[in-house]
Amino acid sequence: MSIRVLVADDQEIVRTGLTILLNAHPDITVVGEAANGQRAVELARELRPDVCLLDIRMPGVDGIEATRLLAGPGVADPLAVVVITTFDLDELVYAALRAGARGFLLKEAGAAMLAEAVHAAAAGDALIAPSITARLLRTFAAAGPAGAQRQPVDPLTDREEEVLRTVAVGRTNSEIAGELHISLSTVKTHVASLMAKLGARNRVEIAMWAYEHRRVTRP
């Protein structure tokens, strides 16, 4: 089945370019376009696309607020959101991921990574530009002791700790299976267990927990 995508960007030429790039893939179809965050939220709720591709800097409701409205903690039936932006700033990355985004890309990432991010989000995975992931790891690692923060409801097993670290550095389920020499279904079981123990709604929240608790010490 084709992955249905909503594209939101306040620049028409960018929306058109993203739409052309995505529609070039036989299994991806752009089903709607929006020029601002408010319209993006309205269309997303109406069309229920598989993935929402949102720019951060838009007039009125920006991409981060739109992400929160579509995928945030209070949303009963969240949509998959990938944030794409020109601005490579740590605070924007963190805010977008906290708002519920499943991916974060720079507009310079290229067509291949754009399609990969859409496929990952549609599959329930997360893709964050590698350069951003590495910098976030360094930032959190340099921030000092984690302090008193939310702990798992049950202790993590050794294998869950391994899966946690691979999720945190952006590995997909297939990559984790190959790296840890376990089956794909076993990976999915461990990821589901991590979500339950950490109170995480998705893989990005698992990764953010790992960063905040210094479970990953090198990019």
Give pLDDT tens digits for 169-179. Answer: 777 788 899 99
In whole angstroms, give the CA distance from residue 207 to residue 203. 6
Average pLDDT over residues 157-166: 93
Q: In the chain, which residue ranges form alpha helices assigned H by DSSP?
A: 12-23, 37-47, 63-71, 90-99, 111-122, 130-141, 158-168, 173-180, 184-198, 203-212
Q: Which residues of 123-133 are buried (b: 16+ CB within 10 A; e: fewer)?
A: bebbbbbeebb
pTM of the full structure: 0.72
Q: Are 32 and 54 a contacting pair, CB within 8 Å?
A: no
What phi-psi label fits residue 110: left (phi over 0), alpha (psi between -120 and 50 degrees) or beta?
Answer: left
pLDDT at 48 over 70: yes
pLDDT of residue 219: 46
pLDDT at 66 over 90: yes
Confidence of residue 143 (pLDDT cuts 50, 70, 90): low
- Token pair 């985004």 in the structure block, residue: 101
pLDDT of residue 96: 84
Q: Are 30 and 73 a contacting pair, CB within 8 Å?
A: no
In whole angstroms, give the CA distance from residue 80 to residue 27. 17
pLDDT of residue 149: 52
